[in-house]
């Protein structure tokens, strides 16, 4: 998988091979300080999201007006409290759940739609290709955030709506990438050989073409998670994401904006949390790109 050698068998790598591939990736990761930093940051955010109820010192939604707007360093509230007296550290820890869930699900959704569209466009060519690529062009004509804002306003707040809207923002990137890869692959001998054995359509695409384009798709997806988390935070900041009671980094920032001049910590910490998470993903993405598909260096 790492070498991207088009093998005659395509996906039929043995399990032993993929295990040694994983070992090789791990060895490479240990040798790259930046990639390793990214992996550690991301692992920490994952642990935070999964074990949020164990790690958070308080219930993130516990309102305590008597303790409102306490500055960082207050005993029991290391990062302070917000306008309702809710513990900021606890809300940050729980907020990681939304960012990761939305980021990963939306990218998975966009990835599946985009890869399928790109495969079909590249493999069949002709008018199918024309239609799909024009749809991509239409999608790209919009400033994505404007479309997302309008769609969220119509659909209303909610986790599923958020994932759907953010997922549908990103499929075009994969479609273009995959189409280009497929166009160059389908002239290769091993695809011709597969066709010669009578295989057609979907089986050829999923068994022989897909395994050979998975590396660039993984690289693009890793960067997409980063940008999706940023867009999600922006939508939350505008009040267009989840219902207000759910702790998210973006909505914490929106509250923080109202108290900017009197209580800076409300806005400062959620932004730092977003930045560190996105930085970790970008570091890991850079490393993945260098290892899996250095050709993408100029474009990503």
φ/ψ of residue 74, rounded to 5:
-65, 130
Based on the shown chain and the rule CB under 8 A, indicate whether residue 102 belongs to the binding site for another protein.
Answer: no
Q: Nearest approach, Cβ of 75 to another protein (angstroms)?
A: 26
Alpha helices by DSSP H, 33-158: 33-50, 52-55, 88-124, 126-140, 144-155
Among 270, 284, 287, 292, binds another protein (CB under 8 A): 270
φ/ψ of residue 77, rounded to 5:
-130, 75
φ/ψ of residue 81, rounded to 5:
-125, 165
Based on the shown chain and the rule CB under 8 A, indicate whether residue 258 belongs to the binding site for another protein.
Answer: no
The mark string for 215-234 relative to another protein (x by CB under 8 A, - otherwise) is: -----------x---x--xx
Span 8-67, contacts to another protein by CB under 8 A: none
Instruction: Give the three-state DSSP class for 248.
Output: coil
**Residue 182 CB neighbour total at 10 angstroms:** 24
Q: Which is nearer to another protein, 67 or 232 (CB)?
A: 232
Distance from C-alpha of 19 to C-alpha of 14, rounded to nearest angstrom = 9
Based on the shown chain and the rule CB under 8 A, indicate whether residue 109 belongs to the binding site for another protein.
Answer: no
277 touches 41 (CB < 8 A) = yes
Based on the shown chain and the rule CB under 8 A, indicate whether residue 257 belongs to the binding site for another protein.
Answer: yes
Distance from C-alpha of 147 to C-alpha of 206, rounded to nearest angstrom = 32
Scanning 44-52, 67-75, 134-142, 193-201 for contacts with another protein by CB under 8 A, the matching segment is: 134-142
Among 180, 268, 290, 291, binds another protein (CB under 8 A): 268
Q: What is the Cα gyration radius of the chain?
A: 22
Size of the site for another protein (CB under 8 A): 47
**Residue 19 CB neighbour total at 10 angstroms:** 10
Two tokens at 104?
A: 């990963």
Q: Which is nearer to another protein, 40 or 150 (CB)?
A: 150
Distance from C-alpha of 191 to C-alpha of 204, rounded to nearest angstrom = 8
Scanning 6-14, 83-91, 95-103, 139-147 for contacts with another protein by CB under 8 A, the matching segment is: 139-147
Q: Which is nearer to another protein, 190 or 259 (CB)?
A: 259
Based on the shown chain and the rule CB under 8 A, indicate whether residue 122 belongs to the binding site for another protein.
Answer: no
Scanning 14-22, 42-50, 54-62, 268-276 for contacts with another protein by CB under 8 A, the matching segment is: 268-276
Span 144-203, contacts to another protein by CB under 8 A: 144-147, 149-151, 153-156
Q: Which is nearer to another protein, 17 or 137 (CB)?
A: 137
Instruction: Give the three-state DSSP class for 231.
Output: helix
Distance from C-alpha of 46 to C-alpha of 33, rounded to nearest angstrom = 20
Footprint of another protein (CB under 8 A): 134-135, 137-147, 149-151, 153-156, 226, 230, 233-234, 237-238, 240, 253, 256-257, 260-261, 264, 267-268, 270-271, 274-275, 278-279, 282-283, 286, 297-299
């Amino acid at each position: 998988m790492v070498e991207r050698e088009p093998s005659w068998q395509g996906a039929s790598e043995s399990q032993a091979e993929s295990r040694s591939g994983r070992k090789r990736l791990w060895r490479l990761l240990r040798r790259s300080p930046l990639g390793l930093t990214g992996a550690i940051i991301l692992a920490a955010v994952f642990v935070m999201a999964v074990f949020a109820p164990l790690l958070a010192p308080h219930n993130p939604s516990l309102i305590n007006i008597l303790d409102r707007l306490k500055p960082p360093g207050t005993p029991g509230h290391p990062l302070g409290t917000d306008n309702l007296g809710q513990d900021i550290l606890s809300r940050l820890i729980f907020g990681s759940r939304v960012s990761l869930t939305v980021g990963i699900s939306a990218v998975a959704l966009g990835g599946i739609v985009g890869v399928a569209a790109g495969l079909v466009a590249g493999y069949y060519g002709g008018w199918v290709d024309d239609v799909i690529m024009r749809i991509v062009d239409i999608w790209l004509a919009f400033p994505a955030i404007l479309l997302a804002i309008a769609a969220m306003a119509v659909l209303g707040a909610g986790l599923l709506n958020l994932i759907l809207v953010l997922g549908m923002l990103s499929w075009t990137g994969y479609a273009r990438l995959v189409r280009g890869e497929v166009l160059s692959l389908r002239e290769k001998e091993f695809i011709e050989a597969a066709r010669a054995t009578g295989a057609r359509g979907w089986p050829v695409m999923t068994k022989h073409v897909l395994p050979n384009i998975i590396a660039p798709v993984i690289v693009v997806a890793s960067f997409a998670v980063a940008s999706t988390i940023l867009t999600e935070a922006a939508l939350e900041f505008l009040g267009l994401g989840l219902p207000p009671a759910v702790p998210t980094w973006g909505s914490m920032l929106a509250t923080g904006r109202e108290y900017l001049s009197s209580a800076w910590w409300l806005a400062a910490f959620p932004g730092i949390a977003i930045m560190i998470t996105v930085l970790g993903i970008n570091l890991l993405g850079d490393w993945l790109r260098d290892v899996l598909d250095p050709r993408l260096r100029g474009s990503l």
